[in-house]
Amino acid sequence: MARIKLGMVGGGNDAFIGGVHRIASRIDDRYELVAGALSSTPEKSRASGEALGLPRVYDDYKTMAIREARRKDGIDAVAIVTPNHVHYAAAREFLKRGIHVICDKSLTSTLSDAKKLVKAVEASDALFILTHNYTGYPMVRQAQAMVAAGDIGKIRVVQVEYPQDWLTRQEDFKQAEWRTDPARSGAGGSTGDIGTHAHNLARFITGLEVESLAADLDAFVPGRQVDDNGHVMLRFTGGAKGMLWCSQVAPGNENALRIRVYGDKGGIEWAQEDPNYLWFTPFGEPKRLITRNGAGAGDAAARLSRIPPGHPEGYLEGFANIYSEAAEAITAAQDGKSAAPEVVYPDIYDGLRGVEFVDACVRSSKRNGAWVTL
Amino acid sequence: MARIKLGMVGGGNDAFIGGVHRIASRIDDRYELVAGALSSTPEKSRASGEALGLPRVYDDYKTMAIREARRKDGIDAVAIVTPNHVHYAAAREFLKRGIHVICDKSLTSTLSDAKKLVKAVEASDALFILTHNYTGYPMVRQAQAMVAAGDIGKIRVVQVEYPQDWLTRQEDFKQAEWRTDPARSGAGGSTGDIGTHAHNLARFITGLEVESLAADLDAFVPGRQVDDNGHVMLRFTGGAKGMLWCSQVAPGNENALRIRVYGDKGGIEWAQEDPNYLWFTPFGEPKRLITRNGAGAGDAAARLSRIPPGHPEGYLEGFANIYSEAAEAITAAQDGKSAAPEVVYPDIYDGLRGVEFVDACVRSSKRNGAWVTL
Amino acid sequence: MARIKLGMVGGGNDAFIGGVHRIASRIDDRYELVAGALSSTPEKSRASGEALGLPRVYDDYKTMAIREARRKDGIDAVAIVTPNHVHYAAAREFLKRGIHVICDKSLTSTLSDAKKLVKAVEASDALFILTHNYTGYPMVRQAQAMVAAGDIGKIRVVQVEYPQDWLTRQEDFKQAEWRTDPARSGAGGSTGDIGTHAHNLARFITGLEVESLAADLDAFVPGRQVDDNGHVMLRFTGGAKGMLWCSQVAPGNENALRIRVYGDKGGIEWAQEDPNYLWFTPFGEPKRLITRNGAGAGDAAARLSRIPPGHPEGYLEGFANIYSEAAEAITAAQDGKSAAPEVVYPDIYDGLRGVEFVDACVRSSKRNGAWVTL
Amino acid sequence: MARIKLGMVGGGNDAFIGGVHRIASRIDDRYELVAGALSSTPEKSRASGEALGLPRVYDDYKTMAIREARRKDGIDAVAIVTPNHVHYAAAREFLKRGIHVICDKSLTSTLSDAKKLVKAVEASDALFILTHNYTGYPMVRQAQAMVAAGDIGKIRVVQVEYPQDWLTRQEDFKQAEWRTDPARSGAGGSTGDIGTHAHNLARFITGLEVESLAADLDAFVPGRQVDDNGHVMLRFTGGAKGMLWCSQVAPGNENALRIRVYGDKGGIEWAQEDPNYLWFTPFGEPKRLITRNGAGAGDAAARLSRIPPGHPEGYLEGFANIYSEAAEAITAAQDGKSAAPEVVYPDIYDGLRGVEFVDACVRSSKRNGAWVTL
């Protein structure tokens, strides 16, 4: 099976997430990184490209899109790993040339950009994959499958949270800088950066949409322009209720994304920092701890897992699963087919929902926590 | 040191909480149970009294109050462990006769009763102790002391929750019956029964009051007349924010009361089901697990603990600590003194705050989650 | 039901374990402490007795045994809570006068004393109860019942350990002093003080006896006269194998007694510091976490438990269960009956097995870890 | 930096460990797999090679060694991932032609093969790297660095264990088959397959060698020819003592490798199934939980880690770290240099120690657990 030729926009030397995408693309050997426009200046882009030994390095993404589209051996897909405000403009260039796009979240920094990007995707033959990576964890798939199978009954309550502590104080390093700048990150701070992950995870596992929400956002660190803590009450389609907490000022929390879902027959619980475990608590029975590929785990987890139970897989493997799902879909598309039904990845509409979520949080909080619809 | 002569109202044979109070009163040998009006009917009261070998059994609490007040060797204090709607009328009878009252929570079933009870306490020389028992756990005291000492800095975020699962389905056993009857329990279901514990614990540890809240309450089980799940956003004095979740329909949760408090210098975390542990997470340092009487634990925990670290104390010891604090206060009062400053117990105003909390939750939820002041 | 009149030998003011016995005897209201010879000197004994408000205080245990035996309202039972080397001589005085004995472990400081005590018990009508308290934990009973019911199949492997850290350095406080003095504690240090607990727990849960063992004992702290760390390999009746580790020099461990038992159908795991949980791991199924009185827990646990699931019981309640079992047996004996079959407590033979275990460890270690029979 | 050209011996389609090696070699992009002799028969080798899209597929490893050595663009290194009994003969072919060898453990199936392999390595200019992969976990490196820095003081006690449950019953699948065949796996069953991992981990973290041991091995499953459970007491250089348990018949355990080391100043604890955490327990201070790249973790962990704290890395990343260390060493060797001092990987002598460990366990067990020297 031929490897997919991949380009990359953003992800220069000092960017955290670019390296993650590159490793994720390598793990299952379905991609070959051959081109890049890795930084916002030609000089940095070239330096980063050389350091990575890339065959083709471009000064900017538009040049890359144009030239790669013309080559016979041009890239099949591009990974866009820039700050959010660049996503729309960059993605558009590749989509309109039929190059598949794998885009980091958040989808865009504004709702209007998000809507334009939806149109761009709908107008293109190319696929659009959003790396809401946490849905790539095998035990998240297991949870989703169990909920879909009715194992916990009709859903009543969803508790989801994503606390971190890295912005507890005013920071000036690069990762912190653009993520707290509304011009580049969007109107949401913690809501945009990690609240969207929590929101997407809840949607993915439950299969429910958030219809309305009430939010109380804060910027606790003096001078911060975007929220660093968000409290949100949720109302889902079908009557389920939820709470969502995101924070970047909760000392002792690294990436403590955690979800609990309760139905009228049982509950499930999953935590990102210990991702190989899933608690299943059928009402009236002892709690059960299901492990990745262990007893009680099923096909949904197994097809995205590489090794037997008891040997942990982590964040990079979960991220790689998004890439592998994308590879399945891209390969199928190249053959003029649809991917198999079990192939699932976050798409443009998941991205739109995320931006709508941030927009709704900000609107609600400005109106003193009034309920707003998404 | 002479033991305090104790009477009991409620707590007949089939009542859960009466037995808990009796054990709690025995553990530190400061009380002697000598009288009781243990049930709502004279027959049951007498049967229960005999089963317990009580010296003096009465048909009803009023008779008990009158007669015990007249005896030279009459009771010094009474424990009231009836359903909530009886608390006010029963407490009044003893308070006006100078008999100290140890009362189970919730304080009353209505806000108007609560306010009347405040007046009755203020008009009496007798003490009023409310058994918000969770504040008796040594590591809750430790948490309170650390917060007061500034170990976590200025508080920003409070996350508190109390999920249970015992009312996941429609139940008809006695414990469930009165607790889901608004006439006996009050307008709040889960908010009243366990939300008040969460609210009180947050107040106790942080030293902050909830100024306003926004609540979204549900009765998920068909036909249930009171809430069985409550989502509440909190705003505290001084600018801290919080979330409170209480539920009786969350399968897999027994009494999963848990609190996390985050300040600008660090965080703490405590869970009722594993009460001998306290996580302390100073920002920028490794997480520390402090154990009851272990390294890092201090006097506040030690004075309410009986055994060395590594041998767990539990719910009954925490409950006994409320009784022992009450004994300190009652003994001091008998000598015309105040108890030492470290003697702390939940009082009538804590009870009032709890009833106000329930009232505010119900009001907010009826107004579609609007923010209401307490 | 009349309370059992209890005396106490040892347990003066500064003794840890005496206070534990007194609380344990009170929790279920089956005993009344009425007499004591609480210390090794008459002065200290009297001072401690007064502090406790004991009706009758004696200068020494022999006087107490003689005089109480003569009284019509004399004690029914005595708790012996002295250092080990006193147990035999003290117990004998009460046994020969028909007074039931509740004795702290280890049974004696020498094997010859243990054998003489067996004879004294066999010659007496009185009962002898040894407070190997950990077998009083409800979930230990649950484990024992599950093993007996065949839930884990034929036992193959037993892993049991009891690490502590309080003797990591040379200490001079009282608790450390007698426990590291072979004349008072016995030839085993950690093996005697805590290894016996581990050994007894393994025997209790599995129903198997240790036939032979190979031990490698150390005294890591310079100048220490008894072992402070013991490594032991075990061979049980029926072919099961085991390992036992006891240590008082393992920093970070408080009372980390823990047992794991594996059979050909499944496994169980229990830890003293989190005693309300029991892991059950049937082969080929997800791990199950059974909680005290929760789903999956049975009668064996429930009959020794006072409160619903999710409210933890601890060390004192487990200790109280030994007292309550003893009360059942003593009451039955007073009526000339046997206790019901479910009434179980550690007896003189359990004590003998413990002393034999220590003796075997010391013998084996002296012979360079050769296998020795018990 | 040019990628190292890699060949593979073994690791055909249905082999678990071959896939692990291939992923591990890709994660950090330091290798390119270009040749293989992937199975014991030419047909299978070819089929597997085609499935992987390998440029050059050989019928057998000897042919591969000869031909690759002759090519200008021949492989720089070979990964040997066959069953143990093939390791020696295969490795020899590559070593004598100057091709670096990355070999799966156990080193060999016999001690005599191991010794011959030592000579082959010593006679060659090529490097020999053994994939005792668990030493590649960042927090194992952290533990090693802390012990070396004296953070726990002089080591007294080592507790290490590796229980599994996959051989609880008689199994006939391929992984089970060769691992329970002494001709292919060696005289040790669980001792060889996983006991060697536990032994190596203890050596790596403590820096101590096992001088002598006493072992009690069992084959609990009827008909099994090698041990499936091993109890071992250890004596280390310098006076430290240890216990080692390995089992493949412990239901509920997947790959529960866990180590605890105690010194006179503190302790550490690490578990493979939750590899991003390290407990550090300085005596007399609260327990600290150090996380990978989190507060308190140092350079030794960071240089083998790819992502920030809170995003777990797993087994494959730990395995990749061995490959990356090997890449550092191979690249340095190609330049005629030594690798930097911080570059560490398990080598031929670690492999020899492992085979000696198995041999000693078997010898001791046959002599009824007598102490034998390694």
pLDDT for residue A179? 78
Comparing alpha-carbon positions, the chain D residue that sits nearest to B282 is D295
What gap in Å lies between CA D286 and CA D271, rounded to an integer? 20
Closest CA to D293 of A194, C296, A255, C300: A255
Q: What is the predicted pLDDT for the residue at D172?
A: 64
* Predicted pLDDT of residue A333: 97
- Bond from prior residue into A305 cis (ω within 30 degrees of 0): no
- Residues A156, A122 share a domain: no
CATH of the domain at B28: 3.40.50.720
Q: Which of D230, D231, D152, D244 is nearest to D202 (CA)?
A: D244
The answer to whether residues C172 and C219 belong to one domain is yes
Q: In whole angstroms, give the CA distance from residue C155 to residue C262.
A: 6
Phi, psi of D373 (to 5 degrees): -90, 155
| Distance (Å, whole) CA A160 – CA A196 | 11
Q: pLDDT at position B13, please?
A: 76
Q: Classify D85 as helix, strand or coil.
A: helix
Q: Is the CB of A286 less than 8 angstroms away from the CB of C290?
A: yes
Would the CB atoms of D286 and B290 count as touching at under 8 Å? yes
Question: In this complex, which chains have at least 3 CB pairs below 8 Å with chain C?
Answer: A, B, D
Contact check, Cβ <8 Å, B156/A249: yes
User: How much is the pLDDT for C181?
Assistant: 85
CA atoms within 13 A on the CB side of C346: 32
Is the CB of D267 less than 8 angstroms away from the CB of C247?
A: no
User: Of the given ranges (B38-42, B88-92, B194-198, C147-151), which has the lowest mean pLDDT?
Assistant: B38-42
- Residue D315 placed within a domain: no
Is residue B230 within 8 Å of B362, Cβ to Cβ?
Answer: no
Neighboring chain B residues of D288 at a CB cutoff of 8 Å: 286-289
Contact of C289 with chain A, judged by CB distance below 8 Å, is answered with: yes
CB atoms within 10 A of CB A335: 8
Q: With contacts defined as CB-CB under 8 Å, which chain A residues touch B240?
A: none
Question: Per-residue pLDDT for A184 more than 90?
Answer: no
Whether B341 maps to a domain, the answer reads no
CB contacts of A312 in chain D (<8 Å) are 272-275, 312, 314-315
| Residue D344 maps to a domain | no
D337 pLDDT more than 70: yes
Mean pLDDT, chain D, rounded, equals 95
Q: Are C183 and C85 in contact (CB under 8 A)?
A: yes
Angle at B125 between CA B120 and CA B127, to 5 degrees: 80
pLDDT tens-digit map of D268-320: 999 999 999 999 999 999 999 999 999 999 999 999 999 999 999 999 999 99
Q: Number of C to D CB contacts under 8 A, please give it.
A: 127
- Looking up residue D173, the CATH number of its domain turns out to be 3.30.360.10
Shared domain check, A90 and A154: no
Cα of B374 to nearest chain C Cα, Å:
30
The yes-or-no verdict on residue C255 having pLDDT over 70 is yes
> How confident is residue C174, by pLDDT bands cut at 50, 70 and 90?
low
Test mutation, A29, A31, A131, A254, chain D, max D CBs within 10 A: A254
Q: What is the mean pLDDT of the segment spanning D97-102? A: 98
Tell which of C311, C319, C321 to mutate to test the B interface (max B CBs under 10 Å).
Answer: C311
Whether residue C119 is found in the same domain as residue C166: no
Cα A18 to Cα A29: distance, rounded to the nearest angstrom = 17
From chain D, pick out residues whose CB is under 8 angstroms from the CB of C243. 231, 243, 245
Task: Report the DSSP beta bridge partners of residue B247.
Answer: B163, B229
The answer to whether residue B231 is domain-embedded is yes
Has this prediction a pTM greater than 0.90?
Answer: yes
Shared domain check, D210 and D160: yes
C-alpha to C-alpha distance for C159 and C234, rounded to whole angstroms:
9
Mutate to test the interface with C, among D169, D227, D245 (most CBs of C within 10 A): D245
The closest CB to that of B252, out of A168, A250, A267, belongs to A267
The answer to whether residues B216 and B260 belong to one domain is yes
Nearest to D138 by CA among D260, D320, D261, D262: D320
Query: What string of H, E and C letters represents the secondary structure of C49-107?
Result: HHHHCCCEECCCHHHHHHHHHHCCCCCCEEEECCCHHHHHHHHHHHHCCCCEEEECCCC
What confidence tens digit (pLDDT) does each residue in A189-236 have? 999 999 999 999 999 999 999 999 999 999 999 999 999 999 999 999
Rounded CA separation D119/D97 (Å):
15
Distances (CA, A) of B230 to B105, B214, D306: 19, 10, 41
Residues C284 and C200 reside in one and the same domain: yes
Chain segment C23-42, per-residue pLDDT in tens: 999 999 999 999 999 998 99
Q: Which domain holds residue B16?
A: 4-126
Q: Closest to B284 (Cβ–Cβ): which among D284, D290, D295?
A: D295
A294 Cα to chain D: minimum distance (Å): 8
Q: What is the predicted pLDDT for the residue at C170? A: 85
Mean pLDDT value of segment C194-201: 98
Min Cα–Cα distance to chain B from C273, Å: 6
How confident is the model at residue D174, as a pLDDT? 65
> What share of chain C has pLDDT > 70, as a percent?
99
- Under the banding of pLDDT at 50, 70 and 90, the label for residue C171 is confident
Q: Provide the residue type at B318 as one letter.
A: G
C104 by Cβ neighbours in 10 Å (0-12 / 13-18 / 19+) ranks as: buried
| D256 found inside a domain | yes
Higher pLDDT pick, C291 / D172: C291
- Average pLDDT of chain A is 95
Helix, strand, coil in percent for chain C, rounding step 5? 40, 20, 40
The answer to whether residue B355 neighbours chain A at the CB level (below 8 Å) is: no
D241 and C253 in contact by Cβ < 8 A? no
A16, B31, C328, D105, D178 from D82: Cα distances, Å: 37, 74, 64, 10, 10
First-to-final CA distance of chain B: 42
Closest in B26, B255, B273 to C26, CB measured: B26
Single out the residue in D75, D92, D126 at which a domain terminates: D126
Asked if the structure places residue A366 within a domain, the reply is yes
Per the structure, the count of domains in chain B is: 2
C residues 220-259 closer than 8 Å to D (CB): 220, 229, 231, 233, 235, 241-243, 245, 247, 249-253
Q: What is the pLDDT of residues D68-89, one digit of tens each?
A: 999 999 999 999 999 999 999 9
Give, in order, the Cα–Cα distances in Å from C245 to each of A203, A361, C161, C250, C261: 48, 55, 5, 11, 15
Find chain C residues with C-beta within 8 A of B27's C-beta.
23, 26-27, 316
Q: Where are the beta strands (DSSP E) in chain C?
A: 4-9, 31-37, 56-57, 77-80, 100-103, 128-130, 155-163, 210-218, 229-236, 241-247, 258-263, 266-271, 277-282, 287-291, 372-373
Tokens, residue B96: 């006006």
B165 plus B66 within the same structural domain: no
Same domain, A143 and A282: yes
Are A175 and A203 members of one domain? yes
Which of chain D's residues have a Cβ under 8 Å away from the Cβ of C247?
A: 157, 262
What angle in degrees, to the nearest 10, is found between the helix axes of A61-70 and A84-95? 20
Average pLDDT estimate for D127-131: 98
Q: What is the pLDDT of residue B174?
A: 65
Q: Is residue B359 part of a domain?
A: yes
* Angstrom distance (rounded) from CA B7 to CA B21: 11
Return the number of CB contacts < 8 Å for B and D. 32
Report pLDDT digits (tens) over A22-62: 999 999 999 999 999 999 899 999 999 999 999 999 999 99
List pLDDT tens digits, range B154-185.
999 999 999 999 999 987 666 677 778 888 88
User: What integer best gives the mean pLDDT of chain B?
Assistant: 95
Q: Which of A22, A255, A291 sits opposite D311 (nearest CB)?
A: A255
A170 and A223 part of one domain? yes
**Higher pLDDT, residue A141 or A17:** A141
Pairwise CB contact (< 8 Å): D253 & A310? yes
Please judge whether D254 and A20 are an interchain contact, meaning their C-beta atoms are less than 8 angstroms apart.
Answer: no
CA–CA gap between residue A157 and residue B218 (Å, rounded): 10
Q: Does A294 touch chain D (CB under 8 A)?
A: yes
Report if residue A315 sits inside a domain. no
Domain boundary among A85, A104, A126: A126
The amino acid present at C41, given as its one-letter code, is: T
Between chain A and chain C, the number of residue pairs with CB atoms below 8 A apart is 32
A164 touches chain D (CB under 8 A): yes
CA distance C304 to A225: 58
Q: Which of D284, D285, D289 is facing B287, going by the closest CB pair?
A: D289
Q: Residue A174: pLDDT band by 50, 70, 90 thresholds?
A: low
Question: Do the chains contact at C310 and B20, CB–CB below 8 Å?
Answer: no
The two tokens of residue D106 are 């156990």
| Cα(B45)–Cα(B15) distance, integer angstroms | 12
DSSP output for A104-120:
PSSS-SSHHHHHHHHHH
Question: Residue C1: its pLDDT value, please?
Answer: 67
In a mutational test of the B interface, the residue from A162, A221, A227, A231 whose CB has the highest number of chain B CBs within 10 Å is A231
Which residue in the set C288, C291, C294 is minimally distant from A288, CB to CB?
C288
Q: Of D18, D364, D361, D67, which is closest to residue D194 (Cα–Cα)?
A: D361
Pick from A95, A126, A157: which residue ends a domain? A126
Average the pLDDT over B83-107 and give the result: 96
Do D254 and D297 fall into the same domain? yes
